[in-house]
Amino acid sequence: MKKTQKPEWLRVKAYPAKENAFVEGILKKFSLNTVCSEAACPNRGECYGRKTATFMILGKTCTRGCTFCNVSKGKPEPVDENEPEHVAQAVKALKLRHTVITSVTRDDLPDGGAEHFARVIKAIRGETPDVIIEVLIPDFNGDIEALRKVTAAHPDIINHNVETVPSLYAKVRPQADYLRSLAVLKAVKDIDETIYTKSGIMVGLGEKPEEVSAVFSNLRNVRCDFLTIGQYLSPSRQHHPVIEYIHPDMFLSYQNEAYEKGFLYVASGPLVRSSYMAEQAMKGRT
């Protein structure tokens, strides 16, 4: 089902500016970035309206050139040593019960920023011990010792997105490796099986349904617990084009299939993103 215009089901509701301004004020106060803004997430208004946001640490410039992503690429900024405490203070100010921390990829750092992730987790624990902490990490170039730094800080959930099917990696994620991403998720469970793992995939990039099904199986083979499935939306003409707008019925079919394969929680829909309504995955598990 090829489309040139966005279909009706991709229309985003507008949300009151008052709640948005509150979240933006907190972010400005502590000089923090969010993936909501940097990646031009369609759900930003809704999430800010619910007084939540996904913090993006380690600057806002990525060292990789994925063709699907709106985050700036190039020479990254110096690491802000005060960022862990600032994130912790923002989490407290927003009274979050579930917080998501992600980052740009920092291939320029010896450990890919793993120690910084650990410092952020520890700082949040120090300010709000009961908050559920989810981290959406890069692959750290497959460095297991770097990954151990993150697992040792014991976040509740470690998310690492495979993003797309293997056949599209050369076009969509040229500096990433599908098997390496699976290995990261497997290593988390090997190191500490009490940490929930999560991954996500975009559809509409030109993949085939059977390829998506194979990704589900691959993720379950490395004991991935949670899964998100969302529609790819191209940020600009310079990015990878949308090949197809997937109908909501297909998202429901993918969701049912993923549950049948054993995922504990699946969020599947056109506007679903990695951290959208992330707290739902942990309902009844704490």
Residue 118 token pair: 């650990």
| CA separation for the pair 150, 53 (Å, rounded) | 21
Q: Is residue 284 part of a domain?
A: no
Contact between 120 and 155 under an 8 Å Cβ cutoff? The reply is no
pLDDT the model gives residue 40: 52
pLDDT the model gives residue 109: 95
Q: Is residue 93 part of a domain?
A: yes
Residues with Cβ within 8 Å of residue 100, at least 6 apart in sequence:
54, 55, 134, 135, 136, 159, 274, 275, 278
Q: Is residue 209 part of a domain?
A: yes
Q: Is residue 1 part of a domain?
A: no
Instruction: Give the position of tokens 């299939």.
Output: 257
Q: Is residue 2 part of a domain?
A: no
C-alpha of 188 from chain center: 16
Concatenating the DSSP letter of every residue in the chain gives ---SS--GGG------HHHHHHHHHHHHHTT-EEHHHHTT-TTHHHHHHTT--EEEES-SEESS--TT--SEESSPPPP-TTHHHHHHHHHHHTT-SEEEEEE---TTSTTTTHHHHHHHHHHHHHH-TTSEEEEE---GGG-HHHHHHHHHT--SEEE---BS-GGGHHHH-TT--HHHHHHHHHHHHHH-TTSEEEEEEEESSS--HHHHHHHHHHHHHTT--EEEEEE---SSTTSPPP--PPPHHHHHHHHHHHHHTT-SEEEESTT--TTTTGGGGGTT--
Q: Is residue 125 part of a domain?
A: yes
| CA separation for the pair 134, 132 (Å, rounded) | 7
Domain ranges, residue 244:
12-277
Q: Is residue 99 part of a domain?
A: yes
What b-and-e string marks burial along 255-283, b requiring 16 or more CB atoms within 10 Å of the CB? Answer: bebbeebebebbbbbbbbbbbbbbbebbe
| CA separation for the pair 102, 113 (Å, rounded) | 11
Q: Domains in the chain: how many in total?
A: 1
Instruction: Find the CATH number of the domain harbouring 25.
Output: 3.20.20.70
pTM: 0.90
Q: Tens place of pLDDT for every residue, the chain, 286 residues?
A: 444 578 888 876 665 566 677 788 888 888 888 755 544 555 555 565 556 678 999 998 888 777 777 777 788 889 999 999 999 999 999 999 999 999 998 999 999 999 999 999 999 999 999 999 999 999 999 999 999 999 999 999 999 999 999 999 999 888 889 999 999 999 999 999 999 999 999 999 999 999 999 999 999 999 999 999 999 988 777 788 899 999 999 999 999 999 999 999 999 999 998 887 788 889 877 6
pLDDT the model gives residue 187: 98
pLDDT the model gives residue 16: 59
Q: Is residue 71 part of a domain?
A: yes
Instruction: Give the position of tokens 């009844």.
Output: 284
